[in-house]
A and B are shown apart, each in its own frame.
Chain A
Amino acid sequence: MFLLDDIFLRSIGLSIPGFDMIWNFEQILNFAYKERAGEIKDRIKENRVLYEFGEMTKEEYESEDVELKRQLRLAERVEDMDLGTRIDILGG
């Protein structure tokens, strides 16, 4: 009901600050998930370089690599869900 009210009000050019605030939070959350995947990819590369420079043992590297790739798959799955997207039926 709230959502329908929100869509209806948006379609006639009105907005309720409370609802807009929720939408903004959703967008921030969505952006954070995308950032998260990028950060994990960077850490995977950093982990590899540290291993190649001999700052980690093979076991340490592999264990960290497995964990980071698990986190990446999770972050990408969340990103695919696109939790912050609301279908705009009426446009505007």
Chain B
Amino acid sequence: MSKAEKPKSGIYVYCLIRSPEEKKSFGTIGIGGEEVYTIAYRDFASVVSKAAMKSYDAGEGEVEVHKEVMGEVMKNRSVLPVAYGMVFKNKKLLSVAMKAGYKAVKKAMKTVDGRVELGIKIFLPKDAMDLDGKIDRCKLDFMGDLTKVAVDSKELKLFSDRLLLNSAFLVERNKIDEFSARVGVLGNEYGDLKTQYSGPWPPYNFVDIHIMGKKRGGFR
């Protein structure tokens, strides 16, 4: 690629956190091996790295880097996930977007503070037969039992004919063990169905902030 074709460098945003006292570095774990660090705006900070100003496609390996950075950041703090592919021309424009979306960020942080997302998928085994009644009972048991521990839950798209349940749960960090224990009991009870328990994740399904220009509504 010639120098003229090379995309300009911008600031890529992974997530938002409560602002640390000083600028914090998370190491060179960003897209293209760039340093991931914080840029503060009032009591929040964007977790960013330098990255090319371009359109980021979902099929590219950068999605994994985006997820891994969020995973690292959320180890010790609450995060507000930002949609994949958000890149700003410069620090000033990021600051303008933060100013426009400040209220939305503050509200969203209240929702997710001290909480994580956990996921449950229940899959019908290959060549499963005579499970009709059991399927309904299983869904009711999982949702009924797990929503007692979770703060919130969302039923997600069933993207396969074999997928019986696809749900996300917002759970307090100090209740993860209790939630996991209940999943274990239910998983054993319905051992002939395939259960996938995943997380902790950033709360993708409970808050998803897209940062845009002020004219387009700031954050949503």
Mutual binders A and B: yes
Chain A residue with the shortest CB-CB distance to B160: A46
Q: Of B59, B126, B157, B160, which contacts A49 at CB under 8 A? A: B160
| Whole-angstrom CA separation of A42 from B163 in the bound complex | 11
Q: Are B123 and A53 in contact (CB under 8 A)?
A: yes
Q: Is the interface of B mostly helix, strand, loop or mixed?
A: loop
Q: Are B57 and A49 in contact (CB under 8 A)?
A: no
Tell whether A46 pairs with B57 under 8 Å between CB atoms, given A53-B194, A53-B196.
no
Q: Does A62 belong to the interface (CB within 8 Å)?
A: no
Chain A residue with the shortest CB-CB distance to B59: A69
Q: Of B57, B126, B163, B196, which contacts A55 at CB under 8 A? A: B126
| Whole-angstrom CA separation of A42 from B59 in the bound complex | 14
25 A–B pairs (Cβ distance < 8 Å), ordered by A: A41-B159, A42-B157, A42-B159, A42-B160, A45-B159, A45-B160, A46-B159, A46-B160, A46-B162, A46-B163, A49-B121, A49-B123, A49-B160, A49-B163, A49-B196, A52-B196, A53-B123, A53-B194, A53-B196, A55-B126, A69-B59, A72-B58, A72-B59, A73-B57, A73-B59
